[in-house]
């Protein structure tokens, strides 16, 4: 039986730091897998945060594969989950992450080039 991960244990879990590193290196699919493992164990406010990051990871993976519709849908869902996440649960600037994702989503929705928009990052 696995212990449920609330914010503090999550931030102290080496798997979390590995997942963050994968995300920041734009290893989207691997980051998705790593965060999903944590999400299955998470409880409380950590769940929407992790789900949002997972959806953003998959959105970026879809974007790399040319699936603009799938990317747009998952980016919107991920952003929605981040809106309900507690900023105190993370060791990165969630406002910067949400801003980057919102700009990328806006570009996708308007059919603009996403190349000018910064990639999401957990810093």
pTM of the model: 0.91
Domain of 103 in residue numbering reads as 7-110
Q: Report if residue 121 sits inside a domain.
A: no
Q: Report if residue 73 sits inside a domain.
A: yes
DSSP secondary structure letters along 38-100: HHHHB-TTHHHHHHHHHHHHHHHHHHHTT-HHHHHHHHHHHHHHHHTS-GGG-SS-HHHHHHH
Q: Report if residue 19 sits inside a domain.
A: yes
Q: Report if residue 66 sits inside a domain.
A: yes
Q: Report if residue 104 sits inside a domain.
A: yes
CATH number at residue 75: 1.10.3450.10
The 10s digit of each residue's pLDDT in 67-97 is 999 999 999 999 999 988 877 778 899 999 9
Rounded to an integer, the average pLDDT of 98-107 is 97
Q: Report if residue 2 sits inside a domain.
A: no
The answer for residues whose C-beta is within 8 angstroms of residue 82's C-beta and 6 or more apart is 48, 49, 52, 53, 56, 94, 97, 98, 101
Number of domains within the chain = 1
Q: Report if residue 97 sits inside a domain.
A: yes
Q: Report if residue 106 sits inside a domain.
A: yes
């Amino acid at each position: 039986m696995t212990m449920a991960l609330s914010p503090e244990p999550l931030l102290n879990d080496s798997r979390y730091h590995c997942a963050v590193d994968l995300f920041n290196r734009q290893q989207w699919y691997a980051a998705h897998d790593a965060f999903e493992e944590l999400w299955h164990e998470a409880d409380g406010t950590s769940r929407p945060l992790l789900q949002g990051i997972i959806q953003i990871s998959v959105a970026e993976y879809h974007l790399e594969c040319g699936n603009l519709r799938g990317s747009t849908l998952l980016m919107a869902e991920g952003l929605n989950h981040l809106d309900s996440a507690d900023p105190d649960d993370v060791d990165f600037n969630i406002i910067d992450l949400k801003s980057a994702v919102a700009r990328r989503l806006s570009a996708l929705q308007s059919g603009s080039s996403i190349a000018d928009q910064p990639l999401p990052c957990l810093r």
